[in-house]
Amino acid sequence: MKKAYVLIWTIFLILLISLWMSLTLNISSYTPKIIQDSYYYLKAQILSHNATQFSKYFLYQAKQENKECLDNIYFNYTKALIKIKYFYPIAQCVNFKFSNFNPDANLSKDGVIIAHISIALNRDKNVNDEILLTKSIIIYPKENFWNLKN
């Protein structure tokens, strides 16, 4: 009779140990949500830094193509949508040309360009997995950028 109890307790202990090991392996191989979110947030931060450089480059490229200004730029980058919207305090940009000049603007103070950068990461996933990041930068162009003809 004692051998039967020992056998039952041995089987019970083996089952308990195997359950504990399987749970430990499942939990340890699972990437916690905080680590995954930190990874995506870091990726979005890197993309926002690159987008600030791209915003300056796109303005330079527009000047090379004889365009006075840019209004919006949208582009996709591996699982991310990046939107850059430019704002000019001196004038309004319509069809790559300046219009509706602000008569109260001072070129030395208001001659800046404000770029609003929005990054949407993991747009095709669940709402809780989406990362949205916005950033605004001020670009100080050189004087010859504002070849304005009033």
Each residue's pLDDT tens digit in the chain (150 positions)? 777 888 889 999 999 999 888 887 776 666 677 788 888 889 889 998 999 999 999 988 988 898 888 889 998 887 788 999 999 888 888 888 888 877 777 666 667 889 999 998 887 776 667 888 899 999 888 766 766 554
pTM > 0.75: yes or no = no
Report yes or no: 119 and 84 within 8 Å, Cβ to Cβ: no
DSSP for 32-61 reads PHHHHHHHHHHHHHHHHHHHHHHHHHHHHH
Q: Cα(117)–Cα(70) distance, rounded to whole angstroms? A: 14
